Structure 1
Amino acid sequence: MTVLAGPTAVGKGTVSADVRARYPQVWLSVSATTRPPRPGEVHGVHYLFVSPEEFDRMVAAGEMLEWAVVHGRHRYGTPRGPVEDHLAAGRPTLLEIDLQGARQVRSSMPTARFVFLSPPSLEELVRRLVGRGTEDAEERARRLRTAEVEMAAEPEFDVTIVNDDVTRATDELAGLLGVSETGATSTLPRVAG
């Protein structure tokens, strides 16, 4: 299993979508969240959009591999069952999650590979966050404060991929997952960090 994390607006969703499109042999976990969908997001594809009450039920029932409050506002988490099923089937598995979630997974699944997706610069990260236009000024400020903390966590990860070009970053991630666009899967050793 490979865990992909990084600061807000770094392009985790874009890289993950490119993996999904170009490397269909990789199973990409779909996180649950209490936040409302952004324009164009589809329930069950981008996220499982659930009520706070349903999220509470899932946590209480032990159905979450990890979960966290992100940006001090909404909860995100990874449903445990599908991850365990795909790992048991031997399928390359990718979790795209936040820093808090990555830390929880590291404690419960230390043999996973942890990949930090980094922006080419803090200035570029700010440009991406402002440019996507999905958050108001207050939310952007909150996310930028969170991003500074998230950037400082890079040394906790096994590998860093700089997202200066989506295709290149995706291909580098696919190489770590041991897959190719032809559909072949190889077994690669876990990279020690």
Structure 2
Amino acid sequence: MKKGLLIIISGPSGVGKGTIRSYFMNDPELKLAYSISMTTRSPRVGEKDGIDYIFTTKAKFEEAIANDELLEWAEFVGNYYGTPISQIEKLRNEGKNVILEIEVQGATQVREKCPDALSIFIIPPSMEELEKRIRGRRSEPEEVVQQRLAKADKEMKMMNNYKYIVCNDDPKLAADLISSIIKRNMETAE
């Protein structure tokens, strides 16, 4: 069985990564599996442990770092986020194409460890639109909103480190483009 692709999808907070992914995630042609990140942050309304994230304690996360059990990890606004290696390898060995929806710092770590990873950066149509989306969530205090906007500005400068850049002006069109990128890379990997 052919090993699956490792697909990195990054972009600033609020750009619509999850919305875009929802359009193509269940396409059987793509043979996708979503890598669930581990985090120490509290669940948002509607998020479920083991589905949206693996919610854990700071002590357990730091133990995973010390034991080199994470493909990548980062700390942001006082919380850790990371990707367990064992889960990724199991899925890829089953022939699944694994989607990592991660931030720029984590993506850099993954590209260093897995240079064959397919990397896609999603950009907003404008920074004004991104701010509107972040504020539209109404899930975080102003201080966190400002931190996310400052981080987004820095992340946008990293987009040229990715193989593909996709603008999310229309989530369905962005999803269709990413789907075709994945299919093309599946063909060339065979």
Aligned partner of 2:3 in structure 1 is: none
Measured in 2, the distance between the counterparts of 1:2 and 1:116 equals 11
Measured in 1, the distance between the counterparts of 2:178 and 2:130 equals 20
Aligned partner of 2:187 in structure 1 is: 188
Aligned partner of 2:34 in structure 1 is: 28
**What is the RMSD of the two structures over their aligned residues, measured on CA atoms?**
1.7
3-state SS, counterpart of residue 187 of structure 1: helix
3-state SS, counterpart of residue 102 of structure 1: helix
3-state SS, counterpart of residue 145 of structure 1: helix
TM-score of the two chains, using structure 2 as the length reference? 0.90
Q: Does the Cα contact within 8 Å between 2:26 and 2:32 map onto a contact in 1?
A: no
Aligned partner of 2:88 in structure 1 is: 83
Deviation of 1:174 after TM superposition, in Å, equals: 1.5
* Number of aligned residue pairs: 183
Letter in 2 for 1:165: D
Q: Post-superposition, which runs of at least 4 consecutive aligned residues in structure 1 deviate over 4 A?
A: 21-24
Tell me: CA distance 1:122–1:18, structure 2 relative to 1, closer, same or farther (3 Å).
same
Tell me: CA distance 1:117–1:58, structure 2 relative to 1, closer, same or farther (3 Å).
same
Residue in structure 1 matching 2:23, options 14, 18, 24: 18
Q: Does the Cα contact within 8 Å between 1:176 and 1:188 map onto a contact in 2?
A: no
Unaligned runs of 5+ in 2: 1-5
Deviation of 1:13 after TM superposition, in Å, equals: 2.0
Aligned partner of 1:66 in structure 2 is: 72
Identity, in percent, stands at: 36
3-state SS, counterpart of residue 19 of structure 2: helix
Aligned partner of 1:178 in structure 2 is: 183
Q: For each residue in 1:73-109, what CA deviation from the matched residue of structure 2 results, as whole angstroms up to 9, or x when unmatched?
A: 2110001011111112221111100000000001000
Structure number having the greater helix percentage = 2
Unaligned runs of 5+ in 1: 180-185
TM-score of the two chains, using structure 1 as the length reference? 0.89
